[in-house]
């Protein structure tokens, strides 16, 4: 019997992650089960670097059982760092600006952590399941399509679809994006039963062929893990309540 557990967005919530590991994840991986973290280990919560270290060590200790995919927050830090390196080498200005919420996490990430994050895949698949951070764009029909850079960016960031099933960018028009259709509602299961993070829900979001498990730990919600027995689409959940609300958007 194969079992696999997917873990939603951690976002620097180290205490909650450690409790989840002690309560279930350590036992599961030692029994030979699989663990897949859905990305966004960093930002917003208080201990991004510690979260990266914990998951990094798990993945390196159990490389055939543990994976962590790339989230849009990891992608941001890696791209920003590359631009900073170019500036130091050639004086080329960094086209990205430092987002205040990212500053502390960026300062605390070291080179081994960045190298490990840079190696994280855009997706994971196994036992009929697909793990992605954001969603499956309509442009992805085969797994090779994930290799396209545009598709990779959408896979990390997809939340809502417009009336033509195209991705709506939150950064361009958040009001319109909120009124869109969740991508999972239109997903047909072509790439497997998909488990994703990125979009925050107060409770897990069930679709016919997908499941959203980012329950907003950094916003005072919960850190959610969903454990599947191979072939099943109804998991069992372990949820760790947030110690506090670590992050609020500044609307000013």
74 in Cβ contact with 120 (< 8 Å): yes
Sign of CA dihedral 134, 138, 141, 142: negative
Residues paired with 225 in a beta bridge:
7, 238
Q: Range with the lowest mean pLDDT among 121-135, 143-157, 159-173, 198-212?
A: 159-173
What SS3 string covers 150-214?
Answer: HHHHHHHHCCEECCCCCECCCCCCHHHHHCCEEHHHHCCCCCCEEEEEEEECCCCEECCCEEEEE
> Residue 252: which pLDDT band, with cuts at 50, 70 and 90?
very low
Question: Which residues, listed in sequence order, are joined to residue 4 by a DSSP beta bridge?
Answer: 34, 228
The residue among 252 and 127 whose pLDDT is bigger is 127
Q: Quick one: average pLDDT of 119-143?
A: 96
Higher pLDDT among residues 119 and 250, named by residue: 119
> CA dihedral defined by 230, 232, 238, 244, rounded to 10 degrees?
110
Mean of pLDDT values over 95-107: 91
d(CA 90, CA 87): 5
CA gap 109, 102 in Å, rounded: 11
Q: What integer is the mean pLDDT of 77-81? A: 95
What is each CA distance from 173 to 24, 80, 165, 170, in whole angstroms? 40, 23, 16, 5
Measured CA distances, 236 to 3, 5, 108, 202 (Å): 11, 9, 35, 17
pLDDT at position 86:
83
Cα separation, 29 vs 44, in Å, equals 27
- How much is the pLDDT for 129? 97
What is the predicted pLDDT for the residue at 233?
87
Distance CA 158, CA 191 (A): 16
Task: Check pLDDT > 80 for residue 89.
Answer: no
Q: What is the largest CA-CA distance in the chain?
A: 56
Confidence label for 166 from pLDDT (cuts 50, 70 and 90): very high
Residue range 104-127: mean pLDDT, rounded: 97
Q: What is the pLDDT of residues 4-35, one digit of tens each?
A: 999 999 999 999 999 999 999 999 999 999 99
pLDDT tens track for 201-230: 999 999 999 999 999 999 999 999 999 999
Query: DSSP code of 248?
Result: -
Q: What is the CA angle 205-206-212, rounded to 5?
A: 45
Tell me the average pLDDT across 46-65: 98
Q: Tell the burial category of 171 from Cβ atoms under 10 Å away from its Cβ (0-12, 13-18, 19+).
A: exposed
């Amino acid at each position: 019997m194969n079992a696999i557990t997917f873990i939603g967005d951690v976002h620097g919530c180290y205490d909650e992650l450690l409790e989840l590991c002690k309560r279930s994840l350590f036992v599961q991986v030692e029994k030979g089960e699989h663990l897949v973290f859905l990305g966004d280990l960093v930002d917003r919560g208080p201990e991004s670097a510690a979260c990266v270290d914990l998951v990094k060590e798990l993945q390196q200790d159990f490389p055939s059982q543990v994976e962590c995919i790339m989230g849009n927050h990891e992608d941001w830090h890696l791209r920003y760092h590359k631009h900073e390196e170019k500036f130091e080498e050639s004086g080329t200005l960094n086209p990205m600006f430092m987002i205040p919420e990212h500053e502390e996490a960026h300062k605390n990430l070291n080179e081994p952590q960045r190298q490990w994050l840079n190696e994280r895949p855009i997706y994971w698949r196994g036992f009929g399941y697909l793990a992605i951070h954001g969603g499956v764009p309509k442009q992805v029909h085969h797994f090779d399509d994930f290799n396209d850079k545009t598709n990779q960016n959408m896979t990390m960031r997809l939340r809502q679809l417009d009336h033509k099933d195209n991705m709506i960018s939150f950064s361009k028009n958040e009001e319109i994006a909120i009124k869109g259709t969740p991508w999972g509602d239109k997903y047909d299961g072509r790439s497997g039963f998909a488990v994703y993070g990125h979009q925050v829900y107060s409770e897990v979001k069930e679709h016919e062929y997908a499941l959203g498990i980012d329950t907003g730990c950094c916003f005072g919600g919960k850190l959610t893990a969903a454990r599947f027995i191979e072939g099943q689409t109804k998991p069992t959940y372990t949820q760790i309540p947030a110690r506090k609300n670590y992050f609020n958007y500044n609307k000013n």
